[in-house]
A and B are shown apart, each in its own frame.
Chain A
Amino acid sequence: MQFLTVVIRRSLYAFLLLLAVIVFNYTLLSMVPGDIAETIAGESGGASAELMAEIRRSYGLDQPFYVQLFGYVGRVLQGDLGSSYYFNVPVLDLILGRLGPTLLLVITALLLAIFTGTLFGVIAAQRPNGIFSHFITILALIGFSAPVFWTAFLLIILFVSMVQIMPLSGLADPLTESGTWQWYLDVAHHLILPVVSLSSIYLAQYSRLARASMMDILGSDYIRTARAKGLGQRVIIYKHALRNAVIPVITIAGLQFSHIFSGAVVIETVFSWPGLGTLAFESILRGDTPTIMGILFFSAFVVIVFNLLTDLAYRIVDPRIRHSGTA
């Protein structure tokens, strides 16, 4: 029963956080200098005084601020993120339309970084002062220090310009018919460079983390027991130790979910990837306030829900957290 109250409390808290995000977004973006009605009118090629008044009324801009704010919060909670000033279509449709490519990019990059990072860390941990360990240390330094757009450009110089084996940009060749298996192959081909660039930041960090946690685990009692009963090195490392070494990596990866979305903004603009990041960047340049607010809300929403679910999952899996009451 105690678990149920925790679930309810956590969900309520997540909801309040979300509410705070909506209010913050709206307040922040209402501080835009200049007249929003003029921006909207500008998109449709200038307007007379009557049309301006009409625009103000239809977008609710003639109301006092708090009325607009409450109106916005209410609409967002009903799933209505407003209409884009630029495209003149519902923001939610716009976001959902761009979500696929971004998720494909971000999740592939995250999985690649977790998988390769853990593997690197595990190999390095077996010889803490070996060449591979030093390689991991250097890799971690490079991964932290190189700006992600620069890494991407270097990869382009290498694999598009010098050894011409990769496409420059986009989701797929526009000439390939979408839905066919050639198209899926083409998307996978276009995905390689963006994914490698995006995961480079995290790969380095995860391999360092996996190395540290693996070294801890290799010194623990249950590994000594496994050794004592005569298990081979391979079984000990990949069957017993690896499982526990992955946990901190996955925890950090979960916490960084909002950061990786930020990285995606840069990578998507570099590779003209038709995802949320490109949409966000272009909307900021266009001053398309509803779309910017929508994307900020949406990404916060994803992170909050993700955090809530991992938090609850830990409580279910780990009885120590479950019985420690609140926290």
Chain B
Amino acid sequence: MSDAKNTTPSNGSPGDVDEIFVEHPFRQFVVMYMRNYAAVAGLFVFVLIVGAALFAPLILDLDPFEMVDAPLLRPGEGGHLLGTDNLGRDLFVAIIYGARVTMAVGGAAAGITLVIGLTIGAMAGYYRGWVDEVLMRITEFFQVLPPLLLAMVLVALFSPTLETVAIAIGVVSWTGVARLARAEFLRLREQEFVKAARSIGARDRRIIWLVIMPNALPPLIVNAALTVGIAILFEAALSFLGLSDPNVMSWGKLIGDNRDYLLDAPWTITFPGVAIFLTVLSMSLIGDGLTDAFNPKLRER
């Protein structure tokens, strides 16, 4: 992309004329990101949630499953910031602990999605021909199966642990990444710098991962932010339906556990949902910010 061109002049000798006009690409990147206030807010919320997930359990040191008070206390009642749920568990504590699971499973699932998608897309786009044909048929195969239903079946078939949930989400959601990576590879493989690498005898593996991949990354990184968001939504849906580890607190599970009390205690549903909503929202705002930062020209739209 454009930042590849910008790196070359700034590598010149100190005092070079270009130095005055061309900022360091990373600096330019940060400036463009910071100009998008919504994206900055998204990053802030995201850091806050990750921080809560990492550190709050160390400070709070409570059991989110413990019955601490009467069930279904309103927010603020009995000193419970967000009230209690139908089992008398403190909703605030449960949400803080839920953040860990959501973040861990969402992150792992997104990682698996990206690894499968990138590998398949890169192979298909780079080798073309029959490799492309076979891999794209496999991709289409996974696209005709309803993703959530397949993930539900996978979790139910194999034990309902967090690992299974993450793998199941990865298995059903990589097709989009694969298509995107393939398109980028098809475009980039014909470029001069790839031909140059090939002419000096670089092996395929090196060209795929070290020559083309770094240049294909910008649109894929933007997509990765959305992938994490989608993985979190998947995890929430699965644990809401009860298809996740019953011994681990998560936001979706919290909503699932309290759904029968929806009309009497709406806060038990509302607050965990707000947590999911804000997390996914922050991911998509970050994605928007990254788009701007990678592609300053697209901003006008």
Contacts and interface: CB of A to CB of B under 8 A. Distances in A.
B140 interface: yes
A41 interface: no
A258 B147 contact: yes
A296 B150 contact: yes
A275 to B, nearest CB: 13
A28 B149 CA distance: 13
Contacts of A269: 241
B216 interface: no
Interface in A287-310: 287, 292, 295-296, 299-300, 303-304, 307
A153 to B, nearest CB: 5
Given A154-B273, A157-B266, A296-B153, A284 B243 contact: yes
B280 A144 contact: yes
Given A153-B259, A161-B263, A296 B149 contact: yes
Given A20-B141, A258-B144, A141 B285 contact: yes
Contact of B157 (A29, A263, A299, A300): A29
A261 B172 CA distance: 14
Contact of B229 (A145, A259, A263, A287): A145
Contacts of B255: 149-150, 153
A112 interface: no
B17 to A, nearest CB: 37
Interface stretch (B2-10, B205-213, B232-240): B232-240
B145 interface: yes
Main DSSP-derived SS at the A contact region? helix
Contact of A300 (B144, B152, B229, B263): B144
A265 interface: yes
B11 interface: no
A141 B237 CA distance: 19
Nearest to A157: B266
A21 B145 contact: yes
B43 interface: no
B37 interface: no
B144 A147 contact: no
Given A161-B266, A258-B144, A304-B144, A144 B149 contact: no
B44 interface: no
The 9 A-B pairs with the shortest beta carbon distances in the complex, nearest first, are A150-B273, A262-B148, A145-B281, A145-B280, A262-B146, A303-B144, A157-B266, A261-B146, A300-B144
10 contacts: A17-B141, A141-B281, A142-B281, A144-B229, A146-B276, A153-B259, A156-B262, A161-B262, A161-B266, A265-B148
Interface of A: 17, 20-21, 24, 28-29, 31-33, 141-142, 144-150, 153-154, 156-157, 160-161, 168, 212, 258-259, 261-263, 265-266, 269-270, 280-281, 284-285, 287, 292, 295-296, 299-300, 303-304, 307
